[in-house]
Structure 1
Amino acid sequence: MTDWERSSTARVIAPAKPRKLTKVPFVELADGRLQGVVSSGSDIARVYVSSVAAKTYAFTCSTNNNRPCGGARGSYCNHIRALVNEAVLQYGAERVARYLRVESEEADGPSAAGLTYDMGRTRPAQGDATAAAPVFSRFLRHLSYLELAPVTSPLPEMHWFPPTRAVA
């Protein structure tokens, strides 16, 4: 058994490039979508929950109180463009393209602008906005971890992980 298999922590994949969290504080590749939370440029109290579905590239963008984004009318808004840019910084362009199943036509590999262009060429439809609530909920849960004092003891909500075998 290797050291990481005996550990109570999960390996964390380092970001492809460092990113600033002020514009896009939360980005993930999950549930068959690229999804995340994007800060509003005009109102500090408002955030947008944006997502792009894999393969179909159907998109949604709405505020944290479920009002639709005014810029997402038939094409990707600036929030979705920012989300793709930050996903490329976090995960790398190749991984994002592979997850979303984007066939990139760029000779030197995909870029954030190239991915957005390639997805937009298919004229994607607006997707189901019901995914926004779980994404925003996960974002709030991640924020709550920032308020915890740094400790080395286990977190109570993680107790459901099965215990590992004792190593002789």
Structure 2
Amino acid sequence: MVRVIPPARPRKLAKVPFVELADGRLQGVVSSGSAIERVYVSSVAAGTYAYACSTNNNRPCGGARGGFCNHIGALIGEAVVQYGAERVARYLRVDVADGEPTAQSLHLTMSGTKPFPAGSKAAASVFSRFLRHLAYLELPPTTAPVPEMQWFASTREVA
């Protein structure tokens, strides 16, 4: 049985509906502040803190020039809520100088890095995973097993 780690705190999904620590990056989908139909795929690489942010149709974020944009800031904040600051810092290999890590100290420590060369090729796969997660919301409520979700850890003890 695989141990499931609960979220550090409950998250509000309106601004950052999808966040994950995967593929050597903090990555996720962040809602646009100006257009309801637009979302941004943002990511920060572990170790180098190289970043990328683009719309769901691969247009670069206008705010991610010379530093982290607001979308990446929101992504870092929600990752801290979801996973806890220590886990995010450990995954991204961030050494926070003073005390316990926070979303703000992580953001400040990683700022001043360079964007990924020519953007991030990971955006398509991150957005695809986000859409796959959304598809589960459209399934009708049932107590029967859902074959696509068999990999999820069970809360029952297996004999």
Provide TM-score, normalisation by structure 1.
Answer: 0.85
Q: State the number of aligned residues.
A: 152
Match of 2:75 among 55, 76, 83: 83
Counterpart position of 2:27: 35
User: How far is the alpha carbon of 1:14 from its aligned partner?
Assistant: 1.4
Counterpart position of 1:133: 124
Alignment RMSD = 1.8
Cα distance in 1 between the residues matched to 2:34 and 2:77: 20
User: How far is the alpha carbon of 1:158 from its aligned partner?
Assistant: 4.8
User: How far is the alpha carbon of 1:144 from its aligned partner?
Assistant: 0.3
Counterpart position of 1:65: 57
What is the SS of the residue equivalent to 1:29?
Answer: strand
Sequence identity percentage: 70
Counterpart position of 2:155: none
* 2:93 is aligned with 1:101: yes
CA 42–102 in structure 1, closer or farther in 2 if over 3 Å, else same = same
* 2:103 is aligned with 1:112: yes
Q: Which runs of 5+ in 1 are unaligned?
A: none
CA 87–158 in structure 1, closer or farther in 2 if over 3 Å, else same = closer
Question: Looking at both structures, which has the greater relative contact order when contacts are Cα pairs under 8 Å and sequence separation is at least 6?
Answer: 2
User: How far is the alpha carbon of 1:159 from its aligned partner?
Assistant: 6.4
Match of 1:92 among 84, 93, 112: 84
User: How far is the alpha carbon of 1:116 from its aligned partner?
Assistant: 0.6
CA 49–159 in structure 1, closer or farther in 2 if over 3 Å, else same = same
What is the SS of the residue equivalent to 2:121?
Answer: helix
Q: Which structure has the larger Rg?
A: 1
Match for 1:147: what amino acid?
E
Question: Which 4+ stretches in 1 moved above 6 angstroms?
Answer: none
Cα distance in 2 between the residues matched to 1:159 and 1:117: 40
Cα distance in 2 between the residues matched to 1:24 and 1:133: 17
* 2:142 is aligned with 1:151: yes
What is the SS of the residue equivalent to 2:122?
Answer: helix
CA 159–115 in structure 1, closer or farther in 2 if over 3 Å, else same = closer
- Written as runs of structure 1 = structure 2, the 5 A alignment for 1:157-168 is 157-158=148-149
Cα distance in 1 between the residues matched to 2:151 and 2:127: 23
Match for 1:68: what amino acid?
P
